[in-house]
Amino acid sequence: MSIWWALQTLALLLVFTAVSADDVVVLTEANFEQEIGKDRSALVEFYAPWCGHCKKLAPEYEKLGASFKKAKLTVMNTRAFASKYGVSGYPTIQWFPKGSLEPKKYEGARSAEALAEFVNNEGGTNVKIAAVPSNVVVLTSDSFDEVVLNEKKDVLVEFYAPWCGHCKSLAPIYEKVATAFKSEGDVVIANLDADKYKDLAEKYGVSGYPTLKFFPKGNKAGEDYYDGGRDLEDFVTFINEKCGTSRDGKGQLTSKAGTVASLDSLVKEFISASDDEKKAVFARIEEEVEKLEGSAARYGKIYVKAAKSSLQKGADYAKNEIQRLERMLEKSINQAKADEFILKKNILSTFA
């Protein structure tokens, strides 16, 4: 049986990462009865963006959506229409059987497991909640020092309590942050149940939940609080600035990834120089790369290779190589290989 998930506003659409935009049917007062009550059953959640209970439900709906991957996601943009179906508070979850506009109100627990059981009973399905893999490192008293105090890692730690509503609201966003930076070997996104490990919470001055602290490579005192916004982009901006990374909210490298300012200025000279002058500028690029450390030194080697190939193959080398990399990026490749190609493409773009 095909199950549809209907939500009141587009905001919650972001939770259902497993459903493509092509599967979205936007419901309005005009088409609601054309879409609902036909040949498919529908579970409809009526919610308000400002509702705290709705926010707490969001991660459970994420689990539910992951288990019904073949379901259509339906988005409802109108609020006034909800009252027609007995909605007086939020969230209200209604089940519309196949061929009926008479809903049955869901009265069970607001967990993915309970909702799935309800859908299975009402819809005749037999779907179990899929385990949702997490990229957040779960800390304990035994692992805290080993992970957080590792001088080779930049670590963001969320101190949370299981009963905390704000923590529950943050959970799906924090998971997206961890997913965005999962390919960065020296960046760790972690959390600790501070209610369970009270000694660690007290040690690091945690008095409210959630508390977020950043433990950079050079300072493991735990004095660096994260007090920015709680949106995905807020966290991404913070981590990029603190860790020297260049990721976007989807985990893709940005157009600035791999570029080195001191080398970019030399590349400008290299491009505008005559053939004879290019050799002298190339030597200066090599000298500058020798001064670099860490990831910048690795990127510097790509600059040197690009400059050398430009000398040997001519001015069109960078443009042709960029086109080749773009074709490769259109293929099905793993994240590591995609990162490699994007870094090269970004650096080659300075030569094009």
Vertex 148, ends 142 and 153: CA angle to 5°?
A: 140
Q: What's the mean per-residue pLDDT of the chain?
A: 86
Residue 159 belongs to a domain: yes
pLDDT tens profile 89-132: 888 888 888 899 898 999 999 888 898 898 889 888 887 887 77
Q: What percent of the chain has pLDDT over 90?
A: 60
- Report how far apart, in Å, the C-alpha atoms of 53 and of each of 15, 59, 60, 239, 281 are: 16, 11, 12, 29, 62
Choose, from 11, 18, 164, 352, the residue flagged as catalytic: 164
Shared domain for 72 and 16, answered yes or no, is yes
- Rounded-to-integer distance, Cα 27 and Cα 19, Å: 17
Q: Which residue has the higher pLDDT, 89 or 321?
A: 321
Instruction: Quote the pLDDT of residue 160.
Output: 98
Q: Flag whether pLDDT at 235 surpasses 70.
A: yes
Residues 150 and 105 in one domain: no
According to the model, what pLDDT value does residue 7 have? 45
Half-sphere exposure of 65 (CA within 13 A, CB side): 24
Q: pLDDT: is 16 or 185 the higher one?
A: 185
Whether residues 17 and 113 share a domain: the answer is yes
Average pLDDT over residues 8-20: 31
Q: Which of 211, 243, 275 is the last residue of a domain?
A: 243
For residues 49 and 234, the model is more confident at: 234
| pLDDT at position 155 | 98
pLDDT at 130: 75
Across 104-115, b (16+ Cβ under 10 Å) vs e yields: eebeeeeebeeb
pLDDT at 79: 61
The answer to whether residues 65 and 15 touch, using CB atoms and an 8 Å cutoff, is yes
Q: What is the CATH number of the domain that holds 37?
A: 3.40.30.10
DSSP conformation class of 22:
G
Whether residues 266 and 331 share a domain: the answer is yes
Do 10 and 89 lie in a common domain?
Answer: yes
- Active-site annotation holder among 14, 26, 51, 333: 51
- 93 closest CA partner among 80, 107, 81: 107
Does residue 13 share a domain with residue 86? yes
**Residue 251 domain-assigned?**
no
Cis peptide before 91 (omega within 30 of 0): yes
Average pLDDT over residues 72-78: 50
Same domain, 13 and 112: yes
| Domain contains 283 | yes
**Mean of the pLDDT values across residues 125-143?**
88
Position 128 in a domain:
no
The answer to the question of residue 249 being in a domain is no
- The answer to whether residue 1 scores a pLDDT higher than 70 is no
The string of pLDDT tens digits covering residues 337-351 is 999 999 999 999 999
What are the DSSP E strand ranges found in the chain?
3-7, 24-27, 41-46, 72-76, 92-96, 104-105, 137-139, 154-160, 187-193, 211-215, 224-225
Instruction: Look at residues 101, 123, 145 and tell me which one is the last residue of a structural domain.
Output: 123
Q: Is the pLDDT of residue 25 over 60?
A: no
Active site residue 164: yes
Rounded to the nearest angstrom, the gap between the alpha carbon of residue 64 and the centroid of all alpha carbons in its chain is 18
Residue 256 lies in a domain: no
Determine the pLDDT at residue 57.
81
- Report yes or no: 7 and 45 within 8 Å, Cβ to Cβ: yes
Question: Binning pLDDT at 50, 70 and 90, where does residue 88 land?
Answer: confident
Q: Is 93 helix (H, G, I), strand (E, B) or coil?
A: strand
With a cut of 50, say whether residue 321 has pLDDT above it. yes
Say which DSSP state 247 is in.
Answer: B
Percent of the chain residues past pLDDT 70, beyond the cut: 87
- The mean pLDDT value for 4-9 works out to 46
For tokens 């006034």, the residue is 80
Q: Determine whether 243 is an active site residue.
A: no
Helix 335-349 vs helix 294-313: crossing angle, to nearest 10: 60
Residue 297's domain spans which residues? Answer: 261-349
Tell whether the model's pLDDT for residue 19 goes beyond 60. Answer: no
Are 115 and 13 members of one domain?
yes
Give residue 53's pLDDT band: very low, low, confident or very high (50, 70, 90).
confident
- 8 Å CB contact between 4 and 42: yes
Q: Do 235 and 266 share a domain, yes or no? A: no
| Within a domain: 205 | yes
Mean pLDDT of 64-76: 55
Q: Which residues contact 344 (CB under 8 A, 6 or more apart)?
A: 258, 302, 321, 325
Question: Is residue 54 predicted with pLDDT exceeding 60?
Answer: yes
- How far is it, in rounded angstroms, from Cα 48 to Cα 69? 24
Band (pLDDT 50/70/90 cuts) for residue 63 is confident
Q: Please give the average per-residue pLDDT across 144-164, as a whole number.
A: 97
Are 73 and 162 within one domain? no
Number of domains in the chain: 3
Instruction: Return the number of other C-beta atoms located less than 10 Å from residue 59's C-beta.
Output: 21
Q: What is the mean predicted confidence (pLDDT) over 160-174?
A: 94
Most confident of 4-8, 95-99, 300-304: 300-304
Q: Is residue 190 part of a domain?
A: yes
- Exactly one of 54, 73, 139, 302 is catalytic; name it: 54
CATH number (domain holding residue 286):
1.20.1150.12
* The last residue of a domain, from among 88, 123, 158: 123
- Alpha carbon distance, N-terminus to C-terminus of the chain: 54
Same domain for 63 and 164? no
Band (16; pLDDT cuts 50, 70, 90) = very low
Note if 167 is an active site residue: yes
The residue from 167, 187, 212, 239 that is catalytic is 167
Q: Judge if 230 and 281 occupy the same domain.
A: no
